[in-house]
Amino acid sequence: MKQFALIAMLAVIAAALPLFIGENPYITGIMISVLMMAALSSAWNILGGYAGQYSFGHAAYFGAGAYTTMILITLYNLNPIFCMAAGIVVACIIALITGSIVFRLRGHYFALASIAVAEIVRLSVLNFEFTGGAQGILLSDLSLWGLDLNSKNPFYYGMLLVLVVTLTITAWLRKSKTGFYLQAIREDQDAAASLGINISFYKNRALLISAALTSVLGSLYGLYIRFIDTSAVLDLRLSIEIILTAIIGGVGTLWGPVVGALLLVPLAEVLRSNLLGDALVKARLVSETSGMGLFLKENLAHAHVLVYGIITVLCILYLPKGIFGLFRRVK
């Protein structure tokens, strides 16, 4: 009950935030990214954190949502809600095919197969014609079914809603038979099976919940950016960022992925917009015209994945339960 109350309280605070920030598209954009990554990572966490099945291919479900929605809207101008539902169906079909084959195996096969499936989806989308191939899909209409795509606030609230739903499902899972069974599978599959747990059934259930939520986020992302291509929504890099956010925040905890996203997304933004390089130049630590200054300007902006990597290594070494695990230890 405590967790549900906390989710509701934070949701109300997050819902009120845009009122204080006003019309600042840059800040709103970053906040949307934080909410999206928090929700993506929380959805991944249901499968990876609770059931212990590390998916390295969640981009496939994100892309399934994004592509299904964008194709249906550009071709048939269907209601966005219907498109999202169709996206969920496509993502669940991919998940069911993957899960029903791979979850029979033990060990790391699911992790490997999830990469393979995501690559199959990416390469298929890249080579089919109806998906726009390498050109991607551009949505030129600026209003859809009464939704003003120029405004960012609807997407802020959309992402927030999916995050709240994901966290609520996670909090409910932790108190339910399914959640306990997933954790038993994570801890010891033989013990779990001997106690009456149908292992592949529960793994598939976790994968389906996770894939469906991820797909909705993909649909929202497509409508929000109004342009998608394989490098934006189906890339391995996206899958890795989802995992790193969860690991750094705290795998298998309710709030870990949210903490991870709150830290990493703004950090990535700082690196991407080269605020760090600019700060070094402004502080006169490096001259703008020197080799070092040019190097920073050219390259540091692309280094955010490297910084993620370094933080992950430090986390694994010093905070094996993630940043959220540290909070709990201090308490």
The residues of the shown chain that bind another protein, judged by CB under 8 A, are: 175-177, 180-181, 183-184, 187-188, 190-199
CB of 293 to another protein, least distance (A): 48
CB of 257 to another protein, least distance (A): 18
Complex with another protein: residue 180 or 327, whichever CB lies closer: 180
Complex with another protein: residue 114 or 178, whichever CB lies closer: 178
DSSP-based three-state secondary structure for 56:
coil
- Please give the structure tokens belonging to residue 142: 């600026």
- The strand pair at 137-138 and 143-144 is best described as unpaired
CB of 197 to another protein, least distance (A): 5
Cα–Cα distance between 82 and 159 in angstroms, integer? 17
Complex with another protein: residue 150 or 194, whichever CB lies closer: 194
- Is 152 within 8 Å of 25 (Cβ atoms)? yes
Q: Any bridge partners for residue 147, and if so which?
A: 144
Complex with another protein: residue 206 or 276, whichever CB lies closer: 206
Complex with another protein: residue 198 or 273, whichever CB lies closer: 198
Complex with another protein: residue 121 or 247, whichever CB lies closer: 247
**CA neighbor of 210 nearest in space, from 184, 235, 246:** 246
CB of 253 to another protein, least distance (A): 11
Rounded to the nearest angstrom, the gap between the alpha carbon of residue 185 and the centroid of all alpha carbons in its chain is: 23
- Is 247 within 8 Å of 312 (Cβ atoms)? yes
- Please give the structure tokens belonging to residue 57: 């291919």
Cα–Cα distance between 283 and 252 in angstroms, integer? 41
Residue with tokens 């955010």: 304
Cα–Cα distance between 10 and 42 in angstroms, integer? 15
Complex with another protein: residue 54 or 180, whichever CB lies closer: 180
CB of 189 to another protein, least distance (A): 9
Complex with another protein: residue 59 or 247, whichever CB lies closer: 247
Complex with another protein: residue 309 or 320, whichever CB lies closer: 320
CB of 1 to another protein, least distance (A): 13
DSSP annotation string for 237-248: HHHHHHHHHHHH
136: left (phi over 0), alpha (psi -120 to 50) or beta: left
Cα–Cα distance between 39 and 139 in angstroms, integer? 24
Identity of the residue numbered 126: L
CB of 260 to another protein, least distance (A): 20
CB of 176 to another protein, least distance (A): 6
Cα–Cα distance between 100 and 150 in angstroms, integer? 41
Cα–Cα distance between 214 and 230 in angstroms, integer? 16
CB of 186 to another protein, least distance (A): 8
- Is 15 within 8 Å of 196 (Cβ atoms)? no
